[in-house]
Structure 1
Amino acid sequence: MSMTYEERQARLGYIILKLFPTIMQSIFKGHTNPRGLRVNFQLKDFRTSLTLKETSLMEQLPNIEDFTLKLCYKILRFENLILEPSCKWGNNPHATEVEIGDDIQRIINLTNEVISKQCEDISEIYYNEFLEITKDVTKRVDGYLHQETCFKMLRILSSADISTAEILQKLALVQKINVSQTIDSDAEIREQYSRMSLVITDTFPNILRDVIRSVIHTNKLYQLCVPHMRSFPLDQQKSLKDLDLLNSNDSLDVSLVYKLLRQFKLIPSPTKGWGLYPEKGDIKLGDDVERIRNYRNQIAHRTNIIIEKNEFENYFDHFRDIGRRMDLNFFQKTNYEETIVLHKTCRMDIQMQVKYENALQELENIKCE
């Protein structure tokens, strides 16, 4: 005997109420340390807003037995604990997109669909498709987590005796899960500052070290500096001595490399000369060295860390241009353009964000010569 619309809706509602939260809790456990998360929560090192009920649940950490589907999703997504699905958050995954993030998005989409439908919209075809998709999701999640829990639970729930009226009453109280971006806009803006710091503190120094390495051997550079050693500050003297002791220029920062290139005329001067900002069409090696110094100073010595979206995009366009020209200078033996693109889009957790935010702030009192 075929089921009524109400019975089909109640069956799917039962899966939403019982199975999906369990799946999400399993994924959640596999991607975070509940005790560590509690510390972050207590320190207010948190990116997404919580309701009063969700805040109460967070206070129960490390216990997550009562964590809702919505809360697990918000933390996994907005705390960057899991890679973004192939389809991108908030979209419908294609059948071929089967990463764990894609299945999380499927669970959210299926939940919102059933909540939004009238009971007469739950056709037999839709019901069977829902169960087939859910079966595939449970199998993939079990495989991902090296367990058999989710698929077994689906089989049990699918044949369990339920009260249709009771399930439909509970389902009516479930709210749709908002899949739009709900993170703190200030946190997002601060993250942009940290991404720029990746370029300023990691990639730009490496570029300039490659520049100076390409024009003079490390030992010869040290010998060149010896007669002038007292003209360098003590911290720079130590870096210069490392040239000789370690036979490496890894300790040279942007400020020191710029000074050496300029003082000893190791490369041709920029188009407008040293110390002057190049015009857009100035693309000599010296021009980009001058740009690196200027961008490093502009960003490191800002009075605040708020980087608006348009400003962020503009900076990265310029950074990428520098990386591309440097790759050409080194005959495509480097991949600085690709590295800078990755800095703009790579996964960045809170610890990484704080690290690079602090790295720029440590440069605040250091001035290029």
Structure 2
Amino acid sequence: MATSRSSITCSSTDTERNNFLRLAQGILGPGTVIARDVLQRYITPYLLSQKVNYNLSIGYRLNKEQRNLVTNASSDGYRKFDITLIYYLLRNLVSDINDPSKPKFPNPTRGWGKSPQPLDHSISDDVERLRILRNHILSHASSASLHDSIYQTAWQQLKDIANRMGRELRKDYDKKLEDLESYTMTEAQWKDMFSKIQSIKGISKCFENETNC
């Protein structure tokens, strides 16, 4: 259940604010790149656009911006797709069709919408983990801060996903996360990061006045 905007608190220490924004960067940056690469592996942008446009039961649940992204995927690719859209497409479309030029996308070990167990390591299990991280850390956040223990657990999970996905997709996601671990934002970069996550449900009110966060 999403946290209402009126209940959001913005007070935090610098460390807790850094924890939150570093993890937000990890999810919105490398985490989202991983999700895009997964989608690219299992269906071409052209076929995806074609399938969604001819499948009303899939397309009607997309908002206008999402429909435009899908419609233009054949020319623009997946570079603007976010985790929410990718998860929806993988779950409701890609897992049920066969792209003759791509491998078959597997269902998660315990089914869609369920939390994977520690030893569930299929590529779709990690897609579920990305969804859960995105929702719990960003969409359902009650404040723009993370206690060290919560941050460390979530960050390690993101690193584990990046490591497994990197081996599976033959990409180097680890380096991008390592760079974030030692990265310190300038004030201008803080504001830029705030603007990127303002629209995510549950935390936008906290960033209306970033000096209070």
TM-score, length of structure 1 as denominator length? 0.46
1 CA distance for matches of 2:105 and 2:144?
34
Q: Who wins on radius of gyration, i.e. which is larger?
A: 1
Secondary structure, in 3 states, of the residue corresponding to 2:60? helix
User: Counterpart of 1:230?
Assistant: 60
User: Counterpart of 2:7?
Assistant: none
Q: Deviations over 1:24-69 (max 9, x none)?
A: xxxxxxxxxxxxxxxxxxxxxxxxxxxxxxxxxxxxxxxxxxxxxx
User: Counterpart of 1:187?
Assistant: 14
* Contact kept in structure 2, 1:239 and 1:252, CA below 8 Å: yes
1:34-183 map, 5 Å: none
User: Counterpart of 1:346?
Assistant: 183
Q: Choose which of 93, 105, 113 in structure 2 pairs with 1:275.
A: 113
User: Counterpart of 1:196?
Assistant: 23
1 CA distance for matches of 2:156 and 2:61?
37
2 CA distance for matches of 1:316 and 1:276?
20
* Contact kept in structure 1, 2:18 and 2:145, CA below 8 Å: no
Q: Deviations over 1:140-194 (max 9, x none)?
A: xxxxxxxxxxxxxxxxxxxxxxxxxxxxxxxxxxxxxxxxxxxxx7123212211
1:282-361 map, 5 Å: 282-300=120-138, 301-331=140-170, 334-361=171-198
What is the CA distance between 1:365 and its match in structure 2? 5.5
Secondary structure, in 3 states, of the residue corresponding to 1:362? coil
* Contact kept in structure 2, 1:316 and 1:344, CA below 8 Å: no
User: Counterpart of 2:100?
Assistant: none
TM-score, length of structure 2 as denominator length? 0.78
The AA in structure 2 aligned to 1:268 is P
2:86 counterpart of 1:257: yes
The CA RMSD over aligned residues, in Å, is 1.8
User: Counterpart of 2:71?
Assistant: 241
Q: Which runs of 4+ in 1 moved over 4 A?
A: none
Summarize the Cα distance change of 1:318–1:254 in structure 2 as closer, same or farther, 3 Å threshold. Answer: same
2 CA distance for matches of 1:357 and 1:278?
30
* Contact kept in structure 2, 1:197 and 1:357, CA below 8 Å: no
Identity of aligned residues (%): 25
Higher relative contact order (CA 8 A, sep 6+): 2
What is the CA distance between 1:247 and its match in structure 2? 3.6
Q: Deviations over 1:110-141 (max 9, x none)?
A: xxxxxxxxxxxxxxxxxxxxxxxxxxxxxxxx
2 CA distance for matches of 1:339 and 1:241?
30
